[in-house]
Structure 1
Amino acid sequence: MTDYDTRKLQCHCCGKTSEHSVLMSSNSFGSRDLDQRPPKMYRWTIASWLQECPYCGYVAPSIDKGDAKARSFLDTAEFRAASLDPAPDPVSRRFLVRAAQHAYDGERRSAFLSTLSAAWVADDSNRPSDAAALRLRAAGHLEGPRITSIDTRLLLLDVLRRASSWEAAEALTAELTAEELDYPFAEIVAFHRDKIAARDDQRHTIGQALEGKPPPPVAVKDPELLKAIARHIKIVPNPRRTGP
């Protein structure tokens, strides 16, 4: 179940008050997509992930919060350009404004993720050409110094595949394969490799990539540690995750 509340918030940047719908709770059941897009019902709350001040245009998860950099960004050409972005819907544009702020602050991964969220909006609106263009735009935020994070590179791999950027996807697949990754990363890379070879640019989930591929057994040499782990599993429930 998803719950919202309507609240009046004072903008961190201009100080004016406006009314906003605030997401109070939601849930997600099922496997995330390979680009970490959450399953329903949480994926349907995307319009509430960012707020926008109707007076100054400040965009944030909650416009009553921010820092000095957020205020200074509003005076930049980058903010003005992002605010005038011809995105076909306000939700996508909010993510692109947020991406521009992250890029201005030098936060490449955050700019990448915000732009990817805009692509998810295009997916839901059945605009595959826009979604592909936004994915390539997201990938552009990661250009520059080499990315070492496996997590970020796996996200980028899915972004390139979904955007039909086959040459770049094949190069990244080869790079990751050469690193001899452990479970589940190696299995996800292999899944991508097969889909890229088939020129498959469709949405797939992490569950699909790991289907029929259980994690390898872990040898525990300390029997007392094994007992402690068993007790922990019995006592501590497995919480259901509700976040993005």
Structure 2
Amino acid sequence: MAALTPVIAQPLINPGKTGILIRNDTLYWSISPLMTIADLGVMRKKIGEFGGDFMVENLEIDPLKRYITAITVSVKSKSGSTGLGSTEGLNAMPIKHYSGYLVKNGLSIGSNYIPEPLSQRIKTDYQQALAYYKQSDTEYARRNNAKFAYEGNGIIFPKRLLEGKASDAILERSGVGKSVGNTFLITDMYRNAELYLNEKKVNVDELNALPFDRVIKVEIKKERFDKKCVIVYAN
């Protein structure tokens, strides 16, 4: 009997563009900071062909439109498992990546494991994005406000998530949402946190009085000693 040929991971197409790699019955996906909206559209298509679904819930790019600074995605597997997560760069820096995988009966989101050759391309994209950032360091590196002292691995909730199907889960897990009185709602878990309404430092009561119609998005960051910072962006 002839020897079996080892199964070698093969990208569906250029992993630097699609961020997709299939190995056996697992689809690995990874978003690099240099991906465009078109690239993310191709990623969604390929995940759909695998039986899952992939949605970009929020996307932020640097002022010169060269790299991704923050992204929130939701993923669904063929079996119905779902995941929601996000990442962002600190002080308008590029994201390193945002990755996960899909299998027949489940998924992982926010994974640090990226197999080769996808991993190398993601690292290359990040280094290129860092070079773009350093070229414009004086424009991006705003460190004169206390809220920028927090790490960039927080989570961003756009307004529509705070009032959508996942709103109850977000309120329970993350403590932010929409009140029955149509105001922004932030729970007492943030009584001792650093709170901002745009650039203005505020308290829990002031945020809870904010009309929800004014809310654009909410950003939650955590400092290395577990102290939290919440920034509500509003009109």
Q: TM-score, normalised by structure 1?
A: 0.28
TM-score if structure 2 supplies the norm length?
A: 0.28
Q: Which has the higher helix share?
A: 1
